[in-house]
Chains A and B, each alone.
Chain A
Amino acid sequence: MTEVLENKFQPAPGAAPLRRMVGAQAALETRQLLRNGEQLTLTLIIPLLLLAAFSLEPLISFGGGYTRIDFLTPGVIALAIMSTAFTSQAIATGFERRYGVLKRLGATPLSRTGLIAAKTLTVIGVELLQAIIIVGVAAALGWSPDASPAAIVVVPLLILLGTAAFSGFALLLAGTLRAEATLAAANLIYVVLLGVGGVVFSLDKFPVGARSFLQALPTGALSTGLRDVLANGIAFPVRDVLTLAVWAVISITLAARYFRWE
């Protein structure tokens, strides 16, 4: 073996260009996510099941003169964004921290900024995939959005701000709690906000005080904002955009302050 190995290990170190490192890491993380059955259940299967079940079965009345699918689609998109940027990312990162994956990555040329960029790319890539599938299924179920032309800019803006806010909270949980606690908390928050985040149940059904509070939460703001733009023809839902922007600043600041890599 030693003969074979002669002159094979002369040092030739050097970091690859940042773009290549980020791309490689994002590709690895995306493949991990798509291979993980539990993560896929959260990010795709549950949103699609809700979309199909609630739009085909008259279990509840939504009111407000919407068809069921027109009401549901924006809410389900909001749920899908939360599942990827918050729940799935918190759980994955929590376990990466527990298994020393983040620590080991710290010894590679990929900087922390590069790692965050790779995670952001992964989340946005998965969200695009979710959007394509959900919009496709919704269209097949008869979705006809009532939107102004501004929606082409405002919907991505809402989604990006929501993603930033959710990601900040995901990293805050994953970077401070034990992996099991992160898993439990992330799933619990997902289920609660699925119920009271304006996803499938209209926030208008809640008493006024509760409604303002729920609409001030990231999920409520995202679902309400998306519904305003996609179902009510509102050009720019100022309040929801501002709410999400404030949450994004708060959550990312907290994550940057309290995240522990080991």
Chain B
Amino acid sequence: MVKRFGPVTAVDGLTLTAGARQVTAILGPNGAGKTTTIEVCEGYRKADAGTVRVLGLDPVRDTAALRPRVGVMLQSGGIPPAVPAGEYLKTLSRFHVKPHDPAWLLDIVGLSGSAKTPYKRLSGGQQQRLSLAAAVIGRPELVFLDEPTAGMDPQARHATWDLISALRGDGVGVILSTHYMEEAEQLADHVIIIDHGRAVAAGSPSELTGSAGQLRFRAEPALDTDSLLSALPPGSAAKESPAGHYLIEVDGGVIQPALLAAVTAWCADRSVLPSSVRIESRTLEDVFLELTGRDLRA
């Protein structure tokens, strides 16, 4: 898929597949093309090149057939500011044949006490939750959630994760974009990392993070990492950052028992007693930063 806005190419030859009845997370820095990708799938914008199919339908040509089946949560706004939460949800429910009970759904997203509160007087997190409820009111087969937990406190975020898990459990497909690595790791069956409008990695969270790939230990500062490196198998990397925190990574991302033995032997030779030694996998955040770099985005 390709989508340009004037001279700017927002999505640059992206290919992605989101499985039915699965949670697919689209990760990427600001400006990577996440929202554009989702909005093309929602039928808001027409791709300049490529083919897009949602539930087997063309989102621009087949909107009338697609819209009842798809729930949408925009990144922000979309709800009339003066309309009370309950009234808004009730109105949307009248657009569908077998909607959820608006009062029940309002309770599920923790807004039953705010049913009479106009949208503009809800907190940011409450507005997000109302928007989420609006996306699922019509019992859709597929929902698009553009940064669903942005601006939520931890309680609301976990409640939202529960709701997304429940959707998936009942066979609703979920496509969400997010900045939160933890969210993608917790929820997603499939993760796509995009940057500059292209997919730079895709797979399940465990495929992306790999198995145990890092050895970290803490000891006295300013140990000679060059000497440490010479004691390790070729292809290893060692660094101290910050002072007293040592990180060893290996090619292929799998720490072998021999590496641990080599590190402890090297320490023993120098009468160094590490205060902690941990072997762990990389987080999705490590993978993300490695693939997209550490530069701040506009």
Complex: chain B residue closest to A27, CB-CB: B91
Complex: chain B residue closest to A106, CB-CB: B44
Tell which of A97-105, A129-137, A192-200 binds the partner: A97-105
Task: Write out, one digit per residue, whether chain A residues 98-122 have a CB within 8 A of any chain B CB (1) or not (0).
Answer: 0111011011111100000000000
Indicate which residue in B42, B98, B163 contacts A5 across the interface (CB closer than 8 Å).
Answer: B163
- A109 with B138: in contact, given A2-B166, A9-B170 (CB under 8 Å)? yes
Chain A to chain B contacts (Cβ below 8 Å), 15 pairs = A1-B159, A1-B162, A2-B166, A5-B162, A11-B69, A11-B140, A11-B171, A15-B95, A15-B96, A25-B91, A28-B80, A28-B83, A28-B87, A31-B87, A107-B42
Complex Cα spacing A262 to B139, Å: 26
Rounded to whole Å, the gap between the CB of A118 and the closest CB of chain B is 10
In the complex, number of A-B residue pairs with CB atoms less than 8 Å apart: 125
Contact between A15 and B97, CB atoms less than 8 A apart: yes
Contact between B162 and A36, CB atoms less than 8 A apart: no
Complex: chain B residue closest to A10, CB-CB: B170
Contact between B94 and A21, CB atoms less than 8 A apart: yes
Task: Write out, one digit per residue, whether chain A residues 12-38 have a CB within 8 A of any chain B CB (1) or not (0).
Answer: 111110001101110110011001100
Contact between A109 and B95, CB atoms less than 8 A apart: yes
Q: Across the interface, which residues of B come within 8 angstroms of A25, CB to CB? A: 91
Which residues 89-103 of B have a CB within 8 angstroms of A? 91-92, 94-98, 100
- A9 with B78: in contact, given A2-B162, A16-B96 (CB under 8 Å)? no
Task: Write out, one digit per residue, whether chain A residues 145-166 have a CB within 8 A of any chain B CB (1) or not (0).
Answer: 0000000000000000000000
Enumerate the 5 nearest inter-chain pairs by beta-carbon distance, A residue then B residue, closest first: A104-B78, A24-B94, A5-B166, A14-B97, A107-B72
Q: Number of residues in A with C-beta < 8 Å to the partner?
A: 38
The verdict on B76 contacting chain A, using a C-beta distance below 8 Å, is yes
Contact between A36 and B139, CB atoms less than 8 A apart: no
Complex: chain A residue closest to B173, CB-CB: A11
Contact between A99 and B94, CB atoms less than 8 A apart: no
Contact between B83 and A9, CB atoms less than 8 A apart: no
